[in-house]
Amino acid sequence: MVWIALVLLLFSVGLVGLNTARDRWGMWHWRHPWRRGLTYEGHLQNVEHLRRGMPWPAPAAAVQDAVLTSCRAVLEQSGFVVFSNWFVFSVFLSFLLPIWSLSFATEALGGEREGGSLVWLLTRPLPRWSIYLAKFLAMLPWALGLNLGGFWLICMAAGEPGRMAFALYWPAVLWGSLAFCSLFHLMGACFRRPAVIALVYSFFLETFLGGMPGYMKRISISFYARCMMFEKGGKFGILPPSPEVYLPVSSGTAQTVLIVLAAGLLVVGMLVFAQKEH
């Protein structure tokens, strides 16, 4: 799973870098919905030419200049919106973050069980809950390094929109990673093939239920990380698709849920591991 995670990282960085090299993050190349074949950039240029080519009264010219300047500013800043919606929300939160988290978290105890060394480890004169906690703490820097470091590499490959995204979104990635690692570490203590169970969870709950309307999505971890990102990027145009349907929670509530979830799952895991026969 670690090798798969690294391959996904390289592929993601390459894909994002390719789009950056082709200057595809902004909306200027999008097609106008009412005039087929004309991009937003082309439509704006036509309007600018019309503004310069006709003798407008001073008040009308001032209003038109303000509108055109605003439209130009929106197009220039649209790269952050496109990168956030297309990659961060659709690919990173729903797919890459869970996969990268489980690649280390399920191996911390699952690898010991599959390698036949878990029984030997349990013969050490240590409480079982302390073994579970030590395994979690030993795995956590690697998982956080992959998640935050991988997110940083992807954002740097995206250029200015990515740097802006990393500055705003890294806290959500951090707390989401902690919650995912606690959950998948618990799966490693409970199941014989934890990576398979974690993959099913990632694809079903995080990808499928995480996109459903109403309250169903609130059982997914990525929902709370996404709510933190919505609040951070709200003033830049990053909003839920339909707030009355999506029903987001505040950033403070989302962060609290992720912290409580990470701590609660860690405690449950220590109790389960201490009582379970291996």
Q: What is the pLDDT of residues 95-128, one digit of tens each?
A: 899 999 988 888 877 766 766 666 677 777 778 8
Which is more confident, 218 or 213? 218
Give the percent of the chain with pLDDT over 70: 76
Among the residue ranges 4-18, 42-56, 209-223, the one predicted with the least confidence is 42-56
Greater confidence (191 vs 42) lies with 191
| pLDDT value of position 23 | 79
Side-chain-facing half-sphere of 82: CA atoms under 13 Å: 21
Supply the pLDDT for residue 12. Answer: 92
pLDDT, position 252: 92
Give residue-wise pLDDT tens across range 62-97: 766 676 666 666 656 777 888 888 889 888 988 899
In total, the chain counts a number of residues equal to: 278
How far apart (Å, rounded) are the C-alpha atoms in residues 96 and 202? 10
More confident residue, 217 or 264: 264
Helix (H, G, I), strand (E, B) or coil at 238: coil
The beta strand positions in the chain, using DSSP E, are none
Q: For the segment 224-277, what is each residue's pLDDT rounded down to a tens digit?
A: 999 999 988 888 878 887 766 678 889 999 999 999 999 999 999 999 888 876
pTM confidence score: 0.81
Residue 273 CB contacts under 8 Å (≥ 6 apart), including other chains: 109, 128, 129, 131, 132, 189
**Predicted pLDDT at 248:** 84
Share of the chain above pLDDT 90, in %: 30
Query: So what's the pLDDT on residue 141?
Result: 93
**259 or 4, greater pLDDT:** 259
φ and ψ at 276, to 5 degrees? -80, 140
CA-angle at 91, arms to 80 and 86, nearest 5°: 35
Average pLDDT for the chain: 82
pLDDT of residue 265: 94
| Residue with the larger pLDDT of the pair 246 and 188 | 188
- As a whole number, mean pLDDT of residues 213-225 equals 82
Count of helix runs (H) and strand runs (E) in the chain: 11, 0
Which has the closest alpha carbon to 139: 101, 113, 94, 166?
101
Distance CA 193, CA 215 (A): 30
Helix axes 58-83, 40-53, angle to 10 degrees: 170
